[in-house]
């Protein structure tokens, strides 16, 4: 009889001493769930973690002394709700996007500086090799360009090549929209392959960067042989300064994955891949956004703008914008320290 009375008494005393804290926490959590944490006064925001820890302590004690199941269920539910308010996401979708654009993306580019430079080096190497090979023997052009040439071959007339650089202003808007959509899908596919194939030790990624350089170098060589190099570079610069940078970033992201597998440091390869994969994912999301911008520039601005000076102006401004954005975007000590670096 004494033991039977003791257990309810113990439960009653336990609840009486701590119930005020639980109710206060429940009221704060309910208000935060309805109106958001920003609606809480500063004093309540400071009080919330203290109440949460006190409730967790109560839950731990309640489990150890085997209180009745109703109290345990109540405390477990309250602790879970409070956890999401204390440690859960505090930003809206738009705030998350703004933070990504202001801090996440440019910091990820800076953190992967060396993989990005290596990807750019391989693309540049392919461009130079193809340029001089096609200059020496035009038949190399068919090897590098293949089906991508679309009639722009050494057999085409100079007038045909020049017309391809300046025609397009009279195309209907719907046609330009479809063209821009196709280009975005095509370039995004290339970028995703360059990134995803990084898991194969980065070898396919490097080869894809090199191949893209071969195609670019072959076209430059062909147009240079007809005195149209300046025109081609202007034609490419409108979208190319954005598109080529994006593809390089995709290649850099693939090399980040490769490094995680080849050089996992003190972690297991799976742990290294998971940690570096998050940083590479941020890089790729930004690169896809850049490819979308490049698709719009290629499908609209480049086709509608036929003035060579205007094309160089747009291309130069876009290049200056991206380089400045990557170098300075969101650069403050707090955020830069929080971003994982590739050589960590």
Q: Which of 20-34, 93-107, 169-183, 310-324 has the highest mean pLDDT?
A: 310-324
pLDDT above 70: residue 290: yes
Residue 229 CB-half CA count within 13 A: 10
pLDDT above 80: residue 66: no
pLDDT above 50: residue 125: yes
Query: Helix, strand, or coil here: 265?
Result: coil
Burial 270-292 (b: 16+ CB within 10 A, else e): eebbebbbebbebbbebbbebbb
Name the band, by pLDDT with cuts 50, 70 and 90, for residue 254: very high
Q: Are residues 221 and 141 in contact, defined by beta-carbon separation less than 8 angstroms? A: yes
pLDDT digits 0-9 by tens, 185-232: 767 788 889 999 998 989 999 999 999 899 899 999 999 999 999 998
pLDDT of residue 106: 95
pLDDT above 60: residue 169: no
pLDDT above 60: residue 328: yes
pTM > 0.95: no
Domain ranges of the chain: 15-90, 94-338
pLDDT of residue 264: 85
Closest CA to 306 of 187, 181, 171: 171
pLDDT above 90: residue 97: no
């Amino acid at each position: 009889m004494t033991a039977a009375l003791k257990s309810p008494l113990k439960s009653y005393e336990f609840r009486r001493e701590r119930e005020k804290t639980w109710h206060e926490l429940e009221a704060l959590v309910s208000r935060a769930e309805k109106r958001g944490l920003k609606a809480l006064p500063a004093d309540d925001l400071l009080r919330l973690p203290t109440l949460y820890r006190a409730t967790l302590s109560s839950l731990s004690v309640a489990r150890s002394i085997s209180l009745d199941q109703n109290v345990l269920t109540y405390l477990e539910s309250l602790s879970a709700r409070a956890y999401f308010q204390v440690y859960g996401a505090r930003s809206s979708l738009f705030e998350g996007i703004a933070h990504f654009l202001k801090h996440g993306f440019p910091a990820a580019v800076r953190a992967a500086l060396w993989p990005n430079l290596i990807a750019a080096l391989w693309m540049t190497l392919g461009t130079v090799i193809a340029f001089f090979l096609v200059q020496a023997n035009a038949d190399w052009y068919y090897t590098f360009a293949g089906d991508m040439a679309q009639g722009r071959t050494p057999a085409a007339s100079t007038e045909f090549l020049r017309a391809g650089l300046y025609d397009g202003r009279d195309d209907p808007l719907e046609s330009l929209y479809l063209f821009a959509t196709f280009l975005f899908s095509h370039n995004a596919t290339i970028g995703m392959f360059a990134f995803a194939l990084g898991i194969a030790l980065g070898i396919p990624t490097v080869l894809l960067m090199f191949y893209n350089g071969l195609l670019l170098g072959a076209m430059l060589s062909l147009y240079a042989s007809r005195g149209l190099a300046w025109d081609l570079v202007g034609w490419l610069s409108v979208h190319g300064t954005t598109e080529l940078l994006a593809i390089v970033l995709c290649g850099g992201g693939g090399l980040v994955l490769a490094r995680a597998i080849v050089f996992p440091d003190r972690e297991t390869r799976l742990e290294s891949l998971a940690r570096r994969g998050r940083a590479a994912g941020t890089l790729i999301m930004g690169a896809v956004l850049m490819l979308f911008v490049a698709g719009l520039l290629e499908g609209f601005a480049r086709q509608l703008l036929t003035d060579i000076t205007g094309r160089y102006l747009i291309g130069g401004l876009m290049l200056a914008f991206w380089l400045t954005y990557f170098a300075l975007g969101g650069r403050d000590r707090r955020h830069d320290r929080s971003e994982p670096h590739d050589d960590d």
